[in-house]
Chain A
Amino acid sequence: MMQLAIYFCYLAVSLALLMNIWRLYIGPNVVDRVMAADTLVINSMVLLILYGIQTKTTLYFESALLLAMFSFISTVAYCRFLMRGDIVE
């Protein structure tokens, strides 16, 4: 039952990753692509957490935290660059 729920989550998150990659490919403007990249990193973080639940290790929690931080910082850097033409002034 638990394994079945984890497999269902794997399926949902994998389809979500495919849809994010498709939006990253067709995105009409650059903000759509930034948004798709942000969501892609966060969904792959969910995939790491699911793998940690399945294999009963707590090894991947720190990497999940690092992925969340890098996703936020890269989104802010991209948007700063779009708005100001520069990241650190």
Chain B
Amino acid sequence: MFEMPANVWEWVVIANLLIGGVFVFIGSLGLLRLNNTMARMHAPSKATTIGIGGVLVASVFYFYQVVDEPYRIFPAQDLLVVFFLFLTAPVSAHFMAKAYLHKHPPQESDLPQPTNGVGWATFKSLKSTHDHP
């Protein structure tokens, strides 16, 4: 178990595995520990995606350079998984943010009160266009 790596590709695989494991752990820790839903959405959609990218790139290097000769292939499926995940993680995070905003629409009472007594321009203009079409 403790034999040293033979060549530089094995070091590359080990570094990618460690970075991937740490980022996957940090992503789920953020999902557990952050304090509201919109903040919690950041951790799985960014940190976990980078961690999965690390583990899958480690797998690509392992099966392409490190493993013994009869098993050696170029794993194109792994690159497909990385491509697919990097493409779909922002889309699913966007969908979840839209669903959350649909379930909990933002209220003017959630915002801090402005100091000059005018009110927030977004809500003001919405109300004025409804009052005077």
A residues whose Cβ falls under 8 Å from a Cβ of B = 1-6, 8-9, 11-13, 15-17, 19-20, 22-23, 28-32, 34-36, 38-39, 42-43, 45-46, 49-50, 52-53, 56, 58, 61-62, 64-65, 68-69, 72, 75-76, 78-80, 82-83
**Roughly how many angstroms separate A29 CA and B52 CA in the complex, as a whole number?**
26
B residues whose Cβ falls under 8 Å from a Cβ of A = 1-5, 10, 13-14, 17-18, 20-22, 24-25, 27-29, 31-32, 37, 40-41, 44, 48, 51-52, 55-56, 58-59, 62-63, 66-68, 71, 73, 75, 77-78, 80-81, 84-85, 88, 91-92, 95-96, 98-100, 102-104
Cβ of B46 to closest chain A Cβ, rounded Å: 12
Instruction: Return the contact of A8 from the options B21, B44, B98 (Cβ within 8 A).
Output: B21
Main secondary structure of the interface of A (DSSP, over half): helix
Cβ of B89 to closest chain A Cβ, rounded Å: 8
Note all chain A residues with C-beta closer than 8 A to B80.
65
**Roughly how many angstroms separate A80 CA and B98 CA in the complex, as a whole number?**
10
Is A72 touching B17 in the complex (CB atoms < 8 A)? no
**Roughly how many angstroms separate A34 CA and B50 CA in the complex, as a whole number?**
20
Known: A61-B78, A75-B95, A79-B99. A46 touches B24 (CB 8 A): yes
Is A65 touching B77 in the complex (CB atoms < 8 A)? yes
